Amino acid sequence: MKNKIILSILISFSISIFVIIFLGLIYPEPDSVASTDHEFYFKSFDPKKERIFIFGSSQMGQLNVTLVNQVVSKNYPSFEVYNLSMSSDEPSNRLPHLERTISLEPTLVIYGITYRDFQTCGFNDVPCIENDPFLLPDIKKSIEANLPKEIQENKINPAFITLRIIRDGLGESQLFTEQNKIRFPNSPFYYIDPNLHHTIIELDEELKKQSNVMKNQGLIIDVSDNGKDVKALKTIIKSLKENNIDVILYIVPQNGPYFLDNISVENKEGFNQMIDRISSEFKIPVYNFTEKYSEEKIWGDTRHISFNPRSMIFSEDFTKIILEEIEK
């Protein structure tokens, strides 16, 4: 009898796993927003409109581009704004897609950059300091390091598939709104994920915890002219200028106590000097917003401004920059 009970447990567990795998296969998650071969590049744009592109990483992705586009189009109906930010983007990652982007003939590119774009190690990446909080061997970490990449990166999300099946099955997209990822038409390579704290304003207590983790990991940035991302950034700006596309550098806002205070004076100085060099070499304007909202309560985590009605100042100020540049 005991064996029969064990068999029952195994059967029910196996059926559940089988159903999940089966659904995963027939409903693959359309998660990839990689820019290669993305439909955005094959889209037919209105030839009468001038396009403004925003480049950058997830920190720029948090802009409310719908609002930015609405305000810009209202003031200048011939302009439209697209946010081409991508998660974890760095100039060297963007470089391979540059030709494709140039072929869409934008009028203006606003490139949002910050310390993270030039890091060789540090925050949420490979830690610079092997600062293991544990004194004894970490068994959990050793096991996790040997797991398949999909499991390590938490790419398995049956709830997302289930909700999609319910939505599709009921044939009414409003019945179960997609909670996991919010996509916007003018932001083709980035989505807002409420599960990743993209939409809430985080409490100081939590920001402090994240800040401590970051502090323990350290940060090294390579802002020398030979650094791979500096080289890539220069190549991007040069190519854009050669194609008569105006470029603006926008230095991404950062949280003061929980981010900027963790950056060393050397890193800050090196970064600012690099920006000055690039600005004077290519004669491009720089909007430095690093400390603009450093004390504001608008942060979703230590690096990202929340996508939230209370964080509108970020998108509103950004819109003003675009309007200012169009007027020039």
Partner 1 sequence: MLFNTIDFVIFFILVLTIIPAIKNSKFQHVFILLASYFFFYYTSNYLIILLIFTTFWDYYFSHMIYKAKDQKIRRIIFLVSLSGNIGLLGFFKYADFAIAQFNFLGNQLDLNAQIPMLDLALPIGISFYTFHSIGYVIDVYRRQITPSKSLREYAIFIAFFPLLVAGPILRAKQFLPQLREKIDEKEIGTRLRQIIINQANLKIGMTLIALGLLKKMFFADNIAPMVNEIFAQPLGLDSFTIILGTIGFGIQVYGDFSGYSDIAIGAALILGFKIPANFNKPFFATSPSEFWRRWHISLSSWVKDYLFLPIVYRKIGSDFLLAFGIMITFIILGLWHGAGWNFILFGFLHGVYVTIETIIRKRSPGLANHWFFKKRIGKIISILSTQYLIFLAWIPFRVTNTNDMFYVMEKYIILDFQTGNIMNFLMSHKLPIALIVLFIILHLVSYRTKNIQEKISKLNLYWWTTFLTVTFLAIMLFYNGIPSDFIYFKF
Write down how long the chain is.
328
Enumerate residues 189-248 that contact partner 1 by CB under 8 A.
194-195, 199-203, 205, 212
How far apart, in whole angstroms, are the C-alpha atoms of residue 256 and residue 201?
15
Nearest to 282 by CA among 226, 325, 242, 326: 242
CB of 115 to partner 1, least distance (A): 24
- Nearest residue (CB) to partner 1, 180 versus 279: 180
CB of 29 to partner 1, least distance (A): 10
- Tokens 């989505």 belong to 191
Q: Give how many residues touch partner 1 by CB under 8 A.
A: 50
Enumerate residues 10-69 that contact partner 1 by CB under 8 A.
11-13, 15-17, 19-20, 23
CB of 136 to partner 1, least distance (A): 5
Task: Single out the residue of 57, 69, 101, 308 in contact with partner 1 (rule: CB under 8 A).
Answer: 308
**Interaction of residue 5 with partner 1, rule CB under 8 A:** yes
**Interaction of residue 273 with partner 1, rule CB under 8 A:** no
Q: How many other CB atoms sit within 10 Å of the CB of residue 129?
A: 13
Task: Single out the residue of 36, 44, 146, 177 in contact with partner 1 (rule: CB under 8 A).
Answer: 177
How far apart, in whole angstroms, are the C-alpha atoms of residue 326 and residue 52?
10
Nearest to 89 by CA among 104, 111, 63: 111
What are the backbone angles phi and psi of residue 122, rounded to the nearest 5°?
Answer: 135, -150
**Interaction of residue 148 with partner 1, rule CB under 8 A:** no
Tell me the C-alpha to C-alpha distance, in Å, between residue 229 and each of 15, 63, 90.
49, 23, 7
Which stretch in 117-125, 134-142, 239-247, 261-269 sits in contact with partner 1 by CB under 8 A? 134-142
- Nearest residue (CB) to partner 1, 96 versus 169: 169
**Interaction of residue 162 with partner 1, rule CB under 8 A:** yes
Q: How many other CB atoms sit within 10 Å of the CB of residue 56?
A: 26
How far apart, in whole angstroms, are the C-alpha atoms of residue 232 and residue 226?
10
Nearest to 188 by CA among 310, 30, 25: 30
- Nearest residue (CB) to partner 1, 58 versus 290: 58
The DSSP code for 201 is P
**Footprint of partner 1 (CB under 8 A):** 1-2, 4-6, 8-9, 11-13, 15-17, 19-20, 23, 133-136, 138-140, 143, 154-160, 162-163, 174-177, 179-180, 194-195, 199-203, 205, 212, 308, 310
